[in-house]
Structure 1
């Protein structure tokens, strides 16, 4: 997927930033597609810092657009669908500093789906301003870690090999754990 995006960026280089932002918005609205391939394309095309900045802007815009979209379309969705994620359920009734802190902290946790946080905030009572600020600030550490990982893997340096090794070990552990009763 990264290669296809890179070809597209090269073909339409004068529009590459806009294309990246649009793809990030689409990924955010879908809520289930990982953005790592787009981060990789951004870093490979724009360089590490510029690519990370483009990814950050795209993910921030995408989160806000998703928030607005979800709020308009799903405001009346039952809370029951979110009960599996107790921290996310707390977000439904939160506002002000509490909402900011919850959104910020949930964005820092890599195992909490980004789309789920956006969805819960959108159907809750959080204002768009608080959501945008907390979501964007919370994405900074996660995106820097993702960018560092992607960069080192694409450069295939020692750090990239170690990162892939750790990911492989975690995946193997997860598969073995799942098969054991």
Structure 2
């Protein structure tokens, strides 16, 4: 998926930043798709720090827009399903600083789906501004961890490619030497 996205960025270079941000918003609204493939494409195409910044902007905007959409349209439908997540129920029932703190904490927690945090927060009474600030601040460590992980995996994949090429060149050389004798 990352390769197709990088190819798409190459075809539409002047709109690549906007395309990336819009894709991040769509992924956030859907709430179930992982965003790491967008982060990987951003890092590959824009470079590590610019790609990470673009991913952050897209994810922050996506969370805020999702929050508004969820608050307007899904409150009554989804609320019963969230009862199986006690931490999320605590967020729904919290107010003020406690809600901000919980959003920060839940954003940093590994394996806590971002869409569920946004959904639960939208069911509560936290303001859009407080949610946006807390969510964005909480995304920073998680996104940096994701970006560094993606970057390391990309480096490992490049190293594998170089090693395979080196082995292939060596095998061809050995074969050539053998046929020459």
TM-score with structure 1 setting the length: 0.85
CA contact (8 A) 2:28 2:115 kept: yes
Q: 1:49: which partner in 2?
A: 49
Greater helix share, structure number:
2
The alpha carbon displacement at 1:85 in A equals 1.1
CA contact (8 A) 2:107 2:139 kept: yes
Aligned ranges 1:1-181 → 2 under 5 Å: 1-77=1-77, 79-156=79-156
Alignment size in residue pairs? 160
The alpha carbon displacement at 1:75 in A equals 2.3
The alpha carbon displacement at 1:78 in A equals 5.4
1:121-176 deviation digits (Å, cap 9, x = unpaired) = 1121111011000100000000000000000111117xx99xxxxxxxxxxxxxxx
Q: Which has the larger radius of gyration?
A: 2
Partner of 1:83: helix, strand, or coil? Answer: helix
CA contact (8 A) 1:108 1:139 kept: yes
TM-align CA RMSD: 1.6
1:23-79 deviation digits (Å, cap 9, x = unpaired) = 000000000000000000000001000000000000000000100111110122353
CA contact (8 A) 2:9 2:16 kept: yes
TM superposition outliers: structure 1 runs of 4+ over 6 Å: none
1:84-122 deviation digits (Å, cap 9, x = unpaired) = 210110111212100100000000012111000000111
